[in-house]
Amino acid sequence: MIVRTLAECAKSGRKIVSKTWDSTRMLLKDDNMGFSFHITTIYANSETHIHYQNHLESVYCISGEGEIETLADGKVYPIKPGTLYILDQHDEHLLRGFSEMQMACVFNPPLNGREVHDADGVYPLDGQSLD
């Protein structure tokens, strides 16, 4: 059994900080579960370009408000507490935080833990990308 707290993970080097978000990676590839689990904070008044070409992701909004815009069709979806969105088609998108949003995120395949978005909004499969 694996038992961790958010605070323990944040203090142990599993928290990655970027310009528009921070993410505490609570479950990673080396935990051998087949997916990774993260608590991510999207900063207020931010916009992040994301295009997970190598991963599928589901995201549940715990708190805060924002929106996601899919670039292929320009559709905009509001995000508020209780919203789940699933990027099942490697959807290129813009994620906007109107207020600070806390999100629970699941990735398949699992992340290694050090990934950040590259210039194209992608997480590499090797986990070696850093801002």
Which CA distances in Å does 54 have to 63, 65, 87, 92, 109? 27, 27, 11, 12, 8
Range of the domain at 77: 20-108
The rounded distance, in Å, linking the Cα atoms of 90 and 130 is: 21
| pTM score | 0.87
pLDDT of residue 11: 93
35-52 pLDDT, tens digit each: 999 999 999 999 999 988
Structure tokens that stand for 82 in this block: 């209780």
pLDDT of residue 92: 92
119-129 pLDDT, tens digit each: 655 565 654 44
Count of H-run helices and E-run strands, the chain? 1, 10
Task: Answer yes or no: is 10 within a domain.
Answer: no
| Number of domains observed in the structure of the chain | 1
Task: Answer yes or no: is 15 within a domain.
Answer: no
Give the residues across from 90 on adjacent strands: none
Question: What CATH code is carried by the domain that includes residue 46?
Answer: 2.60.120.10
Q: Residue 64: how many CB atoms within 10 A of its CB?
A: 19
